[in-house]
């Protein structure tokens, strides 16, 4: 045997390094370290598990040439396939269809047979990958069913091997051990060993939104699980290999948090890990932020990133699923809550009576109430539960609702994406929104439908135009009539419209300036009839602007009147009694000559402006006759 060589690849399992995270954890006071289990020969910590599973199986009579059957998310299968290749066993692996193609192809590369089953079925469904694996094992002679979810050899591998290795490497110099919660082998085995060495070490589990663990640890209730994208952690049933009593705390993360942290670990720390590793680090940082004092945290990185290149490290896949920051998606639960009228969250206590809850539901017009005890969510009680309770007749109206709590709900956080919320509501009655231990909202299917419908209406709506359309026209039109009024005595009239727009006090225009300063903006519109002032010199000229469009000065005047013309028709009805300027346009019409004379009563300075149209009275006889009103 050559010096320094190993007997076979199985002897290279273990002794993986521990390194510090520098960039992704720089915003927390705690020190975050990672155990690089993805550097094992099989690409994950499951190499340790596979070694112990086969050791126990061979002790129990597994013979050479036998078949190994297992339900796996990919990592346990890869480790078993590696050992089977050396020891001469055949393999049949059953996987859920959400697993990456790289995992499936990797198992087949070792010569294993792979059976793919649907993910979105209950664990007890005959089509589930758990039940399918069990059936294949029963039908196969000389077979070893690894059964990692219920095999005590799973946590034993980490109690005998991983835990002691970490303790030796660190000399116990860490405050918390953080790992993803899957089969429970790592958390239970390592946790047991660490607790035996020091009671001060805290064991923290990380669970994805959609899994059962978080709600059960926090509330003691079994909620409705639903599908999620991250692989290798979380469960929709309770494996016996998981010891939840060993946990000091549980942190929840969603798919987006997992995947973005996975990519950050690769690009900023050089750690090419899978989604469960990103989940563990994201959970550890979230937990660190909640601590009052800095701690030394050790995070367990399960597997390598090569198996997720087509998913987590594929921008197209990430974008399609709404996980990239540059992709807006449909929003979050926080967006949905913000779109509704603000509501007070009403809860019940487990000691509340059925009578009290019925009264609350009736008064508030709602169909379910969260049940909270000492700040922790215990479940919900709804109309159907109360109806069933009353129909059965086993209890009275004075019975406590704690006896009829319902677990058919999902819990989400304000940061949960709408796409994930939709998955949860497909399987559960309602989603309860929690922020830590606080209940901050309840979302039903109709809430989600209403939010999405409103969003579609907003997206389909045409772009909004400037609201003050008429004033915009006036603003654009006012300067134009001012330009043609460049005739000698019309300078004051030219200044007046400009001053009416800007409302500054006129500096050079003596008499007309004062009325312009007094005249409110509402009168400014009819004052555009002032372009008729040039008619003082040439009566025919201003007469035409009033009716037609004269040559040079009339072009702007023709554009200007359209704006005042509309208010002139509408305004006389309302402002006619208020403001004489509204009557000024009527001064160009022969019949209301007396009305034009009234103008000087309220605006003496405008008396000039109102008097000048008088010579313009014969003008209509030269042009087209004006209509009487």
Q: Which among 35, 46, 256, 417 is annotated as catalytic?
A: 46
Q: Which two tokens stand for residue 395?
A: 């209890």
Residue whose structure tokens are 């000065």: 553
The CA distances from residue 103 to 67, 70, 232, 574, in Å, are 20, 14, 12, 79
Model confidence band, residue 273 (pLDDT cutoffs 50, 70, 90): very high
Q: What is the pLDDT of residues 595-615, one digit of tens each?
A: 444 444 444 444 444 444 444
Query: Percent of the chain scored above 70 by pLDDT?
Result: 72
CB 204 within 8 A of CB 247: yes
Per the model's pLDDT, the better-predicted residue between 267 and 455 turns out to be: 267
At 525 the pLDDT is 44
- Range of lowest pLDDT (69-78, 178-187, 433-442): 433-442
Nearest to 15 by CA among 33, 41, 52: 41
Q: Which two tokens stand for residue 241?
A: 């290999």
Nearest-angstrom CA–CA distance, 573 and 393 = 73
Q: What does the DSSP assignment read for 348-402? A: B-TT-BHHHHHHHHHHHT-SEEEEEETTEEEEEEEHHHHHHHHHHTSS-TTSBGG
Q: Which two tokens stand for residue 448?
A: 């989600």
Nearest to 159 by CA among 277, 49, 302: 49
CB 259 within 8 A of CB 323: yes
CB 159 within 8 A of CB 84: no
**428 Cβ neighbours under 8 A, 6+ residues apart:** 223, 224, 226, 408, 409, 410
The CA distances from residue 480 to 111, 494, 502, 554, 578, in Å, are 85, 10, 14, 10, 27
Q: What is the pLDDT of residues 325-384, one digit of tens each?
A: 666 678 889 899 998 888 778 888 888 888 888 888 888 888 888 888 877 788 888 887
At 67 the pLDDT is 94
Per the model's pLDDT, the better-predicted residue between 338 and 569 turns out to be: 338
Angle made by CA atoms 119, 125, 127, in degrees to the nearest 5 = 60
Per the model's pLDDT, the better-predicted residue between 549 and 282 turns out to be: 282
- Range of lowest pLDDT (291-295, 336-340, 569-573): 569-573
Q: Which two tokens stand for residue 198?
A: 């020091």
Nearest-angstrom CA–CA distance, 485 and 490 = 5
CATH topology classification for 333-460 = CBS-domain (3.10.580)
Average pLDDT over the chain, rounded to whole?
78
Q: What is the pTM of this model?
A: 0.66
| H or E stretch at 611 | helix 606-611
The mean pLDDT value for 248-261 works out to 94
Q: Does position 41 have pLDDT exceeding 90, yes or no? A: yes
- Does the annotation mark 46 as catalytic? yes
CB 211 within 8 A of CB 234: yes
Model confidence band, residue 471 (pLDDT cutoffs 50, 70, 90): very low
Within a 13 Å sphere around the CA of 318, how many CA atoms are in the beta-carbon half? 22
How many other C-beta atoms can be found within 10 angstroms of the C-beta atom of residue 581? 30
**At 548, is the secondary structure helix, strand, or coil?**
coil
At 463 the pLDDT is 58
Nearest to 187 by CA among 221, 213, 210: 213
The CA distances from residue 605 to 149, 428, 468, 516, in Å, are 97, 77, 30, 9
Task: Determine phi and psi for 348, rounding to 5 degrees.
Answer: -120, 165
At 624 the pLDDT is 46
CB 268 within 8 A of CB 27: no
Nearest-angstrom CA–CA distance, 596 and 612 = 10
At 406 the pLDDT is 73
CB 463 within 8 A of CB 442: no
Question: What's the gap between Cα 136 and its chain centre?
Answer: 42
DSSP class of 17:
-
Model confidence band, residue 553 (pLDDT cutoffs 50, 70, 90): very low
Q: Does position 453 have pLDDT exceeding 70, yes or no? A: yes
CB 238 within 8 A of CB 397: no
Q: Which two tokens stand for residue 143?
A: 């077979």
């Amino acid at each position: 045997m050559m010096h320094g060589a190993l007997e076979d690849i199985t002897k290279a399992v273990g002794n993986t390094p521990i390194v510090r995270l520098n960039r992704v954890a720089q915003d927390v006071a705690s020190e975050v370290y990672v155990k690089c289990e993805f550097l094992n020969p099989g690409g994950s910590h499951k190499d340790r598990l596979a070694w112990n599973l086969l050791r126990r199986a061979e002790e129990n009579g597994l013979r050479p040439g036998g078949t190994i059957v297992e339900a796996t998310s990919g990592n346990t299968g890869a480790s078993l396939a590696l050992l089977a290749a050396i020891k001469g066993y055949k393999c049949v692996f059953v996987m859920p269809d959400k697993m990456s193609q790289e995992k499936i192809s990797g198992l087949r590369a070792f010569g294993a047979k792979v059976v793919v089953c649907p993910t979105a079925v209950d664990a007890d469904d005959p089509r589930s990958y758990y039940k399918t694996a069990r059936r294949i094992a029963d039908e196969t002679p000389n077979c070893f069913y690894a059964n990692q979810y219920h095999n005590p050899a799973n946590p034993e591998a980490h109690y005998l091997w991983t835990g002691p290795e970490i303790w030796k490497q660190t000399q116990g110099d860490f405050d918390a051990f953080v790992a993803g919660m899957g089969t429970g082998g790592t958390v239970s085995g390592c946790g047991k060993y660490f607790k035996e060495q020091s009671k001060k070490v805290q064991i923290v589990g990380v669970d994805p939104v959609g899994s059962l663990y978080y709600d059960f640890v926090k509330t003691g209730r079994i909620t409705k699980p639903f599908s999620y994208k991250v692989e290798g952690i979380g469960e929709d049933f309770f494996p016996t290999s998981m010891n939840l009593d060993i946990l000091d705390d549980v942190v929840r993360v969603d798919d987006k948090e997992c995947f973005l942290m996975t990519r950050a670990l690769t690009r900023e720390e050089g750690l090419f890990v899978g989604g469960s590793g990103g989940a563990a680090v994201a959970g550890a940082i979230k937990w660190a932020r909640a601590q009052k004092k800095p701690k030394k945290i050790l995070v367990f990185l399960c597997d390598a990133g090569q198996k997720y290149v087509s998913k987590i490290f594929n921008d197209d896949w990430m974008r399609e699923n709404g996980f990239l920051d540059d992709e807006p998606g449909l929003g979050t639960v926080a967006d949905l809550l913000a779109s509704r009228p603000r509501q007070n969250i009403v809860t019940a206590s487990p000691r509340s009576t059925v009578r009290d809850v019925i009264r609350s539901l009736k008064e508030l017009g709602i169909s379910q109430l969260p049940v909270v005890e000492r700040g922790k969510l215990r479940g919900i009680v709804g109309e159907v539960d109360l109806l069933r309770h009353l129909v059965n007749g086993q209890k009275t109206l004075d019975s406590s609702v704690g006896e009829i709590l319902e677990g058919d709900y999902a819990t989400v956080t304000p940061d949960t994406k709408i796409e994930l919320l939709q998955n949860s509501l497909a399987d559960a009655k309602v989603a309860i929104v929690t922020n830590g231990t606080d209940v901050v909202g309840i979302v039903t299917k109709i809430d989600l439908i209403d939010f999405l419908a409103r969003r579609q209406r907003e997206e389909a709506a045409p772009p909004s135009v400037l609201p003050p359309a008429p004033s915009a026209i006036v603003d654009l039109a006012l300067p134009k009539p001012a330009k043609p009024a460049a005739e000698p005595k019309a300078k004051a009239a030219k200044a007046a419209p400009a001053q009416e727009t800007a409302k500054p006090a006129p500096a050079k225009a003596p008499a007309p300036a004062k009325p312009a300063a007094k005249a409110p903006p509402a009168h400014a519109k009819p004052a555009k009839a002032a372009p008729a002032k040039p008619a003082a010199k040439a009566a025919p000229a201003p007469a035409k602007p009033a009716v037609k469009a004269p040559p040079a000065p009339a072009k702007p005047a023709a554009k200007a009147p359209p704006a005042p013309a509309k208010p002139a028709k509408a305004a006389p009805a309302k402002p006619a009694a208020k403001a004489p300027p509204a009557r000024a346009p009527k001064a160009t019409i022969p019949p209301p000559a007396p009305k034009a004379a009234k103008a000087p009563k309220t605006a003496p300075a405008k008396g000039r402006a109102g008097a000048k149209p008088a010579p313009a009275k014969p003008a209509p006889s030269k042009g087209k006759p004006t209509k009487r009103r």
